Structure 1
């Protein structure tokens, strides 16, 4: 065939296929162009919302400061000073109200707040908290309170009434706070709210976005209020391209389409290239054109990343950090490690494991953390994507989630919880087929995600929403009842136990005084960790103030229990385990009782004397539950406050149930609760000592163990050594422990002895040996 004929054939091919290819490329250009425009609009909405949120923080904060300074100014006026000095509370309140414009009511209350403490539920916990804060602050404090059965703005300041400490309190219309928000115009498709705890003080926009509004939340100083915001989650562009990338690809496709159409009409000549030993000119096939477009898209994606980086808070990147997958659970920092996209992948990985085991039903619940709703929704999406049927029980303590797996016969469950960690943490505790995941099983989830071994069902699993809180309370109350009333203060630490724990303890016959029982994922009063003695200070004060018999505290998700006596003593969990063991062994002689390596050395003898079989095991709620299943133990406990009752219960760790069993035992005794608890064997001991370290804490402990086992040269020669979890050295007059935490880069130590001198000797021995391994790390324990 001549070259002229080949050219004529090529031109004929272009005339025939050019318009078709041009039309297809034009459609692709329109598609990419529309995606560029949609993402530009999304970015504009997000930017507008952030500006509205920041303005709301400024304006609402200024409104609060105005009310606080207003009360402070009124209190400095001579007539008010004179009225307060006169000691007449009513006259002083009247003088303040006359001068504090807009006040609906003013009270001057004695500093002991006796009326409030007499009935805090009717008085209002938020109002009581405001008055307490005002007493220790140097200026007026502002809070949203419930007063006169309505939500109002409360302002309070410390004063002297007749020379005695007192508090001036003013009730104002809520409009004083919400007015500035009403004046702010947020984008219609977005959501903006002022929140205190889990309560929406005011909100505007699309309320369907309320559950995902905490990602962009900003606090209003130290008031406990915050401004929450959210925009609809937009889809990423094709091939992962952003605004600029889509625009570049659209422009290139449009140019190519126009050239093809013009070439088909003979109005422009397509460039030709000659290839050696080849008589014809190669025209790009449609497949080659698409490959070229993909290459262009890749380059455009790089340009887009430079020109318009997507805000991580608004368009979270789905990247799963390996360090979140811990020994007992999955845990990470929200916004950094965790977002709804990551939660969905984790849910799909869990669902994939379930499908491999022939399981489909799973219960999901979440604690009170602010990020809980959006992470729970993401998790459920992933589980359903894997074909699992999900029962969502909503806001619930982790033990109630475990209970749901049994009660609803699902056998599997996931609790969305950050446990006792700071507010910006969250995570997942996972049970599949009745087995709590730990160690390699949790690491396997990360491997599945990394390798893409995720099951996608042809049809998504079903979703059902249920509330099982009443069933949980009824199940326990049917079995546990107090022989006599016991007055107990319940400190929920603003965690998820705040709603259900007081109800349960009242249902079994206790008189309950709640403390920090309003669920607030920002944990404004103290860290939700009852294993730290300083977190129990307020509980001790409340027990003494209300003349209660005992005080109990829970961690953030209520699977751990802390206890204090009327005298202010913290009762360590290992001593509580003695009490529980004696009770269980009365009905189950010879039963196995498991305890972790951090527990008192007196526990083993105590269990033996009461007819039981003691077994020391590794620390970790997942590991303890696994050992219970293996050994058929009736009871287990950890120094951290996890208690596991198989006798009369299901064998999972449940701080609320443990509190009920504790009150049941105390109510059966003739002695006071303090006398019963004081009678338990006790040594001189330390709480858990945590030493942060750099590098591999487990490797450091392994070196410590090797040095301790060197034989006659070892200072631990006279001790009985246990290496099931770190090193525990039991001497004739006491013991010491060092182990690596499985959740954070720290060493955990604890010491116990028969005397202070022996305690210091063992403590010094461990410190000296550890100092040898950490010569540049000062050790203060």
Structure 2
């Protein structure tokens, strides 16, 4: 008797479907395997092209350095220097050097160059200063009115007895004749409309890459400094010569600027992951290939090929004619052979169920929300901030999400990254925010609990361009809010007000179909990205105080990854902030960190605010290094590679900061306080670096230009580890005076802006310089004072700084008298 089972007749109706399904699955896996092979081939090819370009550029720079040494050692040029004829020396500098032009030789005091400002341009001046400061030849790429070019500058040395500066003859006006005047046709190093405008904030030089070379006659005294201009092709030919396809990307980059790009420029945002540095320079060749996801179920190429082969064989078996199946079945029945295995249907059912490559969740139909009252006051100057349960709740969050989604719809933007800090109200607000975004039909990528810098990073890394961080930042536990980026622009001012107007006027876009929601974890991507950019030269022992904020998980991982020995303090995330308030700008919150650094004999202590975008620093000897002093250190480091770069600081920073920036060849600019306002000014001025007294630091050089306390800590360790002094010695050596921390005073009537307006109108400080960029800052010859309105809490923010204790107390007394004259009941803690 035959064993019951599925006969060929039963299979007949399923046979065409099975054949088609098996063939499609085989093709799918085969295609996935082929795509991954193609991706591997592209990556190998672009890596070879990148390395070829790096080697060619490095060889070209080395050759130009040799030519520069040859020109400077030319006996005729040395004779011109000995005779004090710097104009002739400049002309001789380019003779016999193919492509070289605009040779200039000046005295090391650069008096002539300074005297030509602003007409002469700041770029040439800071380049010459860099060569003198580093006492070696340097090379950098500069943009002027004629385009980009490669410039070299170097100190010129001669024996003191022959060519000391005192022996150089001067013109009638006391200046030395130089090539810049003797050769009228010589082009300046940087010629930009801003450089000729006396009101301009400074130069617009495009970065710098120092290229070292052994100085001539190290025992001699430098008597002049020389610079020469070369065609940009000296460095771009190496990139243009390599063979690449149109589906990959290759670029020569300096600082944050791409000098030349090849291939698919749409891939430029991800090119730093495959970047390689040009040796002995600050140039790098960045590369990228199209993002090819892994095979189904995460399988590699060979596994995909194997499964494709299996399904192809199954399909071929199914193609056997039914008569053969009946004959085979009859033979088995005649010989009473037991079944040798599963039927085809059973085999198909036994295969793993199909799953999506990324977890995409089905979104339920949006609920009909009851009318929600919106408090206009939560829409602040540079973000949205309110008290949960009073001015902020789930209904408000959903309307804000709907308004953001509507703005994105108008701009043609689809993807947005969202995340939250560790506050207890975060999950509910994020859920409601996402509901509003989905109503507008947006694709939401939820990265969960994350520091604000990680959410900003996600907007770049996931190529969304938009993001929202649900965070109360450094404010008390009952506060929460939204930091918003749409299309790469941090919303502030009128753009924030427009969100309120959309809600109030019911100008909200309702999509015909709900948007989609995806969950991602990108923390490890961030760790890898930072550690690929920063590695410290020697291990430093660091204590990290996250104040129970959301940076407590990520910051220790990042600093350990760059080579630091990390001890965590209050790094468990707790939205109640049980140990101290997560605000490193208040010295009282750093007490435990100072004690821990002293107890462990650590090199340094770093602290973060509630969402990780602000940084505080203490030294081994218990000194609190205020952020404006840290900005001096960051600026000096950035300007080494980017002479002439714009450095922005807010009105709360010390008056010693602009002088430090100028001394290191930079262009300082004071601006309003506020992370979104600073970022907008950075885009406007193409600044390489910015910082605020509150501890926000914005690195455009080597990073993305957003405020990131964790990355700033990594850059700080990089600088400190590269110096022979201890971190405490380096930090304590930064220029300092007698200054207060930020002083926060409750505003009368809970309206700080109205009070500051009254103070500005009534204030009188004879002999001082007044600035109303943001509140009222008064600069005296020996110090300064500031009163401004906080944009996040109802308080006045004051700060004072003096060259001496006496100057500080005098300035405070002047402010106290005028403040109390306006509001006698004001409680002033000074």
For the superposition of Structure 1 and Structure 2, which TM-score range results when normalised by the shorter chain? 0.5 to 0.7
Q: CA deviation at 1:423?
A: 1.1
Change (3 A) 1:634 1:235: closer
Alignment of 1:645 with 2:699, yes or no, is yes
Matches within 5 A, 1:385-400: 385-400=439-454
Alignment of 1:563 with 2:617, yes or no, is yes
Q: Which residue of 1 aligns with 2:790?
A: 741
Q: CA deviation at 1:382?
A: 0.6
Among 568, 580, 589, the residue aligned to 1:526? 580
CA distance in structure 2 between the aligned counterparts of 1:235 and 1:582, rounded to whole angstroms:
55
Alignment of 1:500 with 2:554, yes or no, is yes
Residue ranges of structure 2 left out of the alignment (5+ in a row): 1-364
Q: CA deviation at 1:706?
A: 2.5
CA distance in structure 1 between the aligned counterparts of 2:585 and 2:480, rounded to whole angstroms:
19
Q: CA RMSD in A?
A: 1.7
Q: Deviation digits for residues 109-131 of structure 1, max 9, x if unmatched?
A: xxxxxxxxxxxxxxxxxxxxxxx
CA distance in structure 2 between the aligned counterparts of 1:322 and 1:700, rounded to whole angstroms:
19
Q: CA deviation at 1:703?
A: 2.7
CA distance in structure 2 between the aligned counterparts of 1:565 and 1:524, rounded to whole angstroms:
24
Matches within 5 A, 1:235-634: 318-634=372-688
Q: Which residue of 1 aligns with 2:275?
A: none
Among 700, 711, 724, the residue aligned to 2:755? 700
Secondary structure, counterpart of 1:556 in structure 2: coil
CA distance in structure 2 between the aligned counterparts of 1:757 and 1:402, rounded to whole angstroms:
44
CA distance in structure 2 between the aligned counterparts of 1:571 and 1:416, rounded to whole angstroms:
29
Q: CA deviation at 1:342?
A: 1.6
Matches within 5 A, 1:45-84: none
Q: CA deviation at 1:704?
A: 2.2
Contact 2:745–2:827 (Cα < 8 Å) also in 1: no
Change (3 A) 1:544 1:401: same
Change (3 A) 1:778 1:560: closer
CA distance in structure 1 between the aligned counterparts of 2:480 and 2:766, rounded to whole angstroms:
44
Residue ranges of structure 1 left out of the alignment (5+ in a row): 1-232, 241-316, 709-713
Q: Which residue of 1 aligns with 2:730?
A: 676
Q: CA deviation at 1:236?
A: 8.7
Change (3 A) 1:756 1:522: same
Change (3 A) 1:635 1:358: same
CA distance in structure 1 between the aligned counterparts of 2:366 and 2:686, rounded to whole angstroms:
51
Q: Deviation digits for residues 294-352 of structure 1, max 9, x if unmatched?
A: xxxxxxxxxxxxxxxxxxxxxxx732221211111111122222222221111000000
CA distance in structure 2 between the aligned counterparts of 1:622 and 1:606, rounded to whole angstroms:
25
Secondary structure, counterpart of 1:564 in structure 2: strand
Matches within 5 A, 1:130-209: none
Change (3 A) 1:776 1:526: closer
CA distance in structure 2 between the aligned counterparts of 1:693 and 1:426, rounded to whole angstroms:
21
Q: CA deviation at 1:759?
A: 0.5
The structure, 1 or 2, with the larger RCO (C-alpha pairs under 8 Å, 6+ apart) is 2
Q: CA deviation at 1:770?
A: 0.9
Q: Deviation digits for residues 442-468 of structure 1, max 9, x if unmatched?
A: 111111111111111001111111111
Contact 2:366–2:439 (Cα < 8 Å) also in 1: no
Q: Which residue of 1 aligns with 2:825?
A: 776
Among 749, 768, 785, the residue aligned to 1:719? 768
Contact 2:585–2:694 (Cα < 8 Å) also in 1: yes
CA distance in structure 2 between the aligned counterparts of 1:556 and 1:342, rounded to whole angstroms:
22
Secondary structure, counterpart of 2:704 in structure 1: coil
Q: Deviation digits for residues 553-608 of structure 1, max 9, x if unmatched?
A: 00000000000011111110000000000000000000000000000000000000
Among 660, 679, 700, the residue aligned to 2:714? 660
CA distance in structure 2 between the aligned counterparts of 1:757 and 1:399, rounded to whole angstroms:
41
Q: CA deviation at 1:440?
A: 1.4
4+ residue segments displaced more than 6 Å:
233-237
CA distance in structure 2 between the aligned counterparts of 1:614 and 1:391, rounded to whole angstroms:
38
Secondary structure, counterpart of 1:595 in structure 2: strand
CA distance in structure 2 between the aligned counterparts of 1:597 and 1:472, rounded to whole angstroms:
31
Q: Which residue of 2 aligns with 1:145?
A: none
Among 755, 762, 770, the residue aligned to 2:811? 762
CA distance in structure 1 between the aligned counterparts of 2:791 and 2:576, rounded to whole angstroms:
25
CA distance in structure 1 between the aligned counterparts of 2:826 and 2:611, rounded to whole angstroms:
34
Secondary structure, counterpart of 2:828 in structure 1: coil
CA distance in structure 2 between the aligned counterparts of 1:745 and 1:668, rounded to whole angstroms:
42
CA distance in structure 2 between the aligned counterparts of 1:697 and 1:517, rounded to whole angstroms:
33
CA distance in structure 2 between the aligned counterparts of 1:325 and 1:333, rounded to whole angstroms:
12
Q: CA deviation at 1:545?
A: 1.1
Q: Deviation digits for residues 51-88 of structure 1, max 9, x if unmatched?
A: xxxxxxxxxxxxxxxxxxxxxxxxxxxxxxxxxxxxxx
Change (3 A) 1:539 1:647: same
Q: CA deviation at 1:779?
A: 3.0
Q: CA deviation at 1:235?
A: 7.9
Q: CA deviation at 1:694?
A: 2.0
CA distance in structure 2 between the aligned counterparts of 1:645 and 1:778, rounded to whole angstroms:
38
TM-score (norm 1): 0.59
CA distance in structure 2 between the aligned counterparts of 1:776 and 1:511, rounded to whole angstroms:
50
Contact 2:423–2:576 (Cα < 8 Å) also in 1: yes
CA distance in structure 2 between the aligned counterparts of 1:586 and 1:418, rounded to whole angstroms:
36
Q: CA deviation at 1:234?
A: 13
Q: Which residue of 1 aligns with 2:779?
A: 730
Secondary structure, counterpart of 1:649 in structure 2: coil
CA distance in structure 2 between the aligned counterparts of 1:501 and 1:761, rounded to whole angstroms:
41
